[in-house]
């Protein structure tokens, strides 16, 4: 199978390219590296089954030769990225998605959209299954990403119903692992960087908000399963084990052996209070379940970061002062134990 992977130079995209190459597929990576990293795909450049196409999918998706499947992962996904590139984020969710859909339609290929748990917003239903419509602020600071993905889902479904394109929608929950950018402001990478450097771990609100963290190898198995299936979705892909942010901080401190303190900051706008996927649909239709437990996955992630001390030191300068499960801020810390202040 020959698979075009948009955003193939990013964190998830590069792992997907690697998994497809490992099983014998041909891969065309399409990326402009606005948020991806060329180092992620450097090991594949000598592989005759791998092709790199540099380009912005919001303008066009030009892939020569046969295409059997399209995995559309291109998009800023880290809040610092999509907040810094709001128009580009909306463009890749709209024009970029349609360009990728057109590529799939031209080749009668399978199309898989990497959507996100952010379509559920700050959910009023817990846990979240695919029938939930979400609770999203369309003009809030996170809306450029949330609404871009919601539109891309609608567009994907429209191509399926009106043009017969073989499409599938995945809603991806928090994913972590090697190749995360240490400066991207996500909660796992920020905690690991801060702990390794002995800096305070910044927690927002009272730290009791929850997330569910899926190790990248598990997530990629789910994407591959969607590529191989004709399941239309949407399908949740994530680990249903729910942790508070404070529990995550404590695990990172234990795994790194750090004696750093935890500092609390005010909650950011529209920060989801609870997030956990129902994955029954993925289990029943794709035969998929996550296998890597959080402690094992975090240990592998810590080892990856620890082997890159220069990157960690550089990232620390970028994230010092706070992170909010993605949004780097320059918040003023409150003393540990102080009453949280909601914004």
Q: Which residues contact 39 (CB under 8 A, 6 or more apart)?
A: none
Residue (of 148, 155, 186, 203) closest to 10 by Cα position: 186
φ, ψ dihedrals at 261, nearest 5°: -85, 170
Helix (H, G, I), strand (E, B) or coil at 7: coil
CB atoms within 10 A of CB 199: 17
Cβ-contact 181, 326 below 8 angstroms: no
CB atoms within 10 A of CB 196: 23
Residues forming the active site: 145
Token pair for 257: 């052996």
For 195, which DSSP code?
H
Token pair for 287: 């035969």
Q: Cα–Cα distance between 76 and 149 in angstroms, integer?
A: 11
Q: Cα–Cα distance between 102 and 108 in angstroms, integer?
A: 10
Q: Which residues contact 153 (CB under 8 A, 6 or more apart)?
A: 113, 115, 119, 169, 234
Cβ-contact 201, 249 below 8 angstroms: yes
Residue (of 247, 276, 315) closest to 173 by Cα position: 276
Query: Which is it for the CA torsion 193, 199, 202, 207, positive or negative?
Result: positive
Q: Cα–Cα distance between 285 and 225 in angstroms, integer?
A: 10
Cβ-contact 23, 69 below 8 angstroms: no
């Amino acid at each position: 199978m020959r698979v075009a992977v948009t955003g193939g130079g990013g964190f998830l995209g590069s792992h997907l390219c690697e998994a497809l190459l490992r099983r014998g597929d041909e891969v065309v990576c399409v990326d402009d590296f606005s948020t991806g990293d060329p180092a992620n795909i450097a090991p594949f450049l000598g592989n005759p089954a791998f092709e790199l196409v540099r380009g912005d999918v919001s303008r066009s998706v030009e892939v020569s030769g046969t295409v059997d499947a399209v995995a559309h992962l291109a998009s800023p996904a880290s809040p610092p990225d999509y907040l810094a590139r709001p128009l580009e984020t909306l463009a890749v969710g709209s024009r970029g998605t349609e360009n990728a859909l057109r590529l799939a339609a031209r080749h009668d290929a399978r199309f898989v959209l990497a959507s996100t748990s952010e379509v559920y917003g700050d959910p009023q239903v817990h846990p979240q299954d695919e029938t939930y419509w979400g609770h999203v602020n369309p003009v809030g600071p996170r809306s450029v990403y949330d609404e871009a993905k919601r539109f891309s889902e609608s567009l994907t479904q429209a191509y399926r119903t009106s043009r017969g394109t073989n499409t599938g929608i995945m809603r991806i929950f928090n994913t972590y692992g090697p190749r995360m950018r240490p400066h991207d402001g996500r909660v796992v990478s920020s905690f690991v960087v801060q702990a390794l450097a002995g800096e305070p771990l910044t927690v927002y609100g009272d730290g009791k908000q929850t997330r569910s963290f899926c190790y990248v190898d598990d997530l990629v198995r789910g994407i591959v399963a969607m590529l191989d299936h004709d399941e239309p979705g949407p399908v949740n892909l994530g680990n249903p084990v729910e942790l508070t942010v404070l529990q995550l901080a404590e695990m990172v401190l234990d795994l790194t052996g750090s004696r750093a303190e935890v500092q609390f900051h005010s909650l950011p706008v529209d920060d989801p209070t609870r997030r956990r996927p129902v994955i029954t649909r993925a289990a029943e239709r794709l035969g998929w379940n996550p296998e890597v437990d959080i402690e094992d996955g975090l240990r592998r992630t810590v080892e990856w970061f620890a082997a890159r001390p220069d990157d960690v030191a550089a990232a620390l300068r970028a994230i010092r002062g706070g992170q909010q499960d993605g949004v780097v801020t320059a918040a003023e810390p409150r003393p540990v134990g102080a009453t949280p202040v909601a914004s």
